[in-house]
């Protein structure tokens, strides 16, 4: 397929690519990364990670036992994070629709879209089965939240641009991996920890796919890609931001060490930026240089905000410990 030459954009200081042009230009990279992914990704069975022997009926047509918080093996912060993480996974139909619209259903792009969707589907399956079987959370509340969240659907902040979407998922997949792993570590249940570690392995492979694709975009369209990364990093929001009670849950997860500013800066943004050497890329035009400078200043400011959060978190946890002992 012949790719039309990129049109020159004076503001960017170099030829500007359209979404269609970048899709075609990146097709070979997508195919290479897809083949690499299929070689290293391991199929796994969600049902093998669920403690089915712990399950029993709930009230209703089967006349089972009502849920009680005392039945849960996971910690309070574990329950909060598990609900947020599962509700995020529940919006998979909206995510699939968005990336299928942006990336298409043909060729290597289409194969990746469907493979990614199938792998992500496992995460929601195993998490819900675990939560209900182990009685980790209130099943009625969980279903009400699911209905409310999915009824709203999901519209990405980056749906206007394929390049912005690639940049976003390069960071978001890593953020999801970190959130799952930390939830497992703080859950208090080894079964939960094992399950979320398995999910986190998938999320890391997804991050590598998009991160490498973003690296190729930097080689083809450095100014446009730098501007996209700047926009995504400075305006980053997790995909669950529209779910019921998200702000309160996110605040509790931050204090509980699941996901907060320090983790976001150190374990999500910095590793991707460092791997791609984003702040060291040369040969940029005026817009790319400006975006690179803004990105560096933003990261410095975020580090300062994270330090202030660290101090508040330490004070809150010390106060809680004193009250517990008191």
Unique residue bearing structure tokens 């035009």: 285
Q: Number of helices (H) and strands (E), helices first, in the chain?
A: 13, 2
CA proximity to 171, closest of 121, 239, 217: 239
| Domain enclosing residue 149, as ranges | 19-310
Averages of pLDDT over runs of 10 residues in the chain (326 residues) are: 38 66 92 97 96 94 92 94 93 87 90 95 97 95 91 79 93 96 96 97 97 96 96 90 84 93 96 97 95 97 93 86 74
Query: Is residue 89 domain-resident?
Result: yes
120 is in an annotated binding site: yes
Distance CA 214, CA 164 (A): 10
Query: Is residue 224 domain-resident?
Result: yes
At CA 104, angle to CA 178 and CA 22, rounded to 5?
Answer: 85
pLDDT of residue 11: 44
CB 26 within 8 A of CB 1: no
Query: Is residue 9 domain-resident?
Result: no
98 is in an annotated binding site: no
Query: Is residue 289 domain-resident?
Result: yes
- Residue 165's contacts (CB-CB under 8 Å, 6 or more residues apart) are 98, 99, 102, 156, 158, 159
Q: What is the CATH number of the domain that holds 44?
A: 1.10.620.20
pLDDT of residue 268: 97
293 is in an annotated binding site: no
Task: Give how many domains the chain has, as a whole number.
Answer: 1
Query: Is residue 320 domain-resident?
Result: no
173 is in an annotated binding site: yes
CB 113 within 8 A of CB 35: no
Query: What stretches of the chain adopt beta strand conformation (E)?
Result: 7-9, 14-16
CB 220 within 8 A of CB 158: no
Query: Is residue 4 domain-resident?
Result: no
Query: Is residue 103 domain-resident?
Result: yes
pLDDT of residue 15: 62
Distance CA 151, CA 145 (A): 10
Query: Is residue 28 domain-resident?
Result: yes
89 is in an annotated binding site: yes
């Amino acid at each position: 397929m012949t790719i039309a030459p990129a049109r020159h954009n004076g503001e960017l200081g170099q030829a500007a690519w359209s979404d269609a042009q970048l899709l075609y230009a990146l097709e070979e990279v997508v195919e290479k990364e897809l083949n690499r992914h299929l070689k290293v990704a391991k199929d796994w069975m969600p049902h093998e990670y669920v403690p089915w022997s712990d399950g029993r009926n709930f009230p209703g047509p089967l006349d089972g036992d009502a849920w009680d918080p005392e039945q849960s093996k996971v910690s309070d912060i574990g329950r909060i994070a598990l609900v947020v993480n599962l509700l995020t996974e529940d919006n998979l139909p909206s995510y699939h629709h968005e990336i299928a619209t942006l990336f298409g259903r043909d060729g290597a792009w289409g194969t990746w879209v469907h493979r990614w969707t199938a792998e992500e589907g496992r995460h929601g399956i195993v998490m819900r089965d675990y939560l209900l079987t182990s009685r980790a959370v209130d099943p009625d509340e969980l279903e009400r939240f699911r209905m409310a969240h999915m009824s709203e659907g999901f519209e990405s902040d980056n749906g206007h641009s394929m390049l912005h979407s690639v940049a976003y998922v390069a960071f978001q997949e890593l953020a999801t991996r970190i959130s799952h792993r930390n939830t497992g570590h703080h859950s208090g249940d080894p079964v939960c920890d094992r399950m979320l570690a398995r999910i986190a392995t998938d999320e890391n492979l997804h991050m590598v796919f998009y991160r490498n694709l973003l690296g190729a975009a930097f080689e083809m369209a450095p100014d446009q890609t730098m501007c996209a990364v700047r926009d995504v990093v400075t305006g980053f929001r997790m995909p669950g931001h529209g779910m019921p009670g998200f702000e309160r849950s996110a605040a509790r997860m931050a204090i509980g060490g699941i996901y907060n500013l320090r983790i976001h800066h150190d374990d999500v943004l910095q590793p991707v930026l460092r791997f791609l050497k984003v702040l060291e890329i040369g040969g940029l035009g005026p817009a790319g240089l400006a975006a690179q400078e803004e990105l560096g200043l933003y990261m410095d400011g975020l580090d300062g905000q994270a330090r202030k959060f660290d101090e508040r978190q330490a004070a809150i946890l010390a106060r809680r410990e004193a009250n517990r002992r008191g």
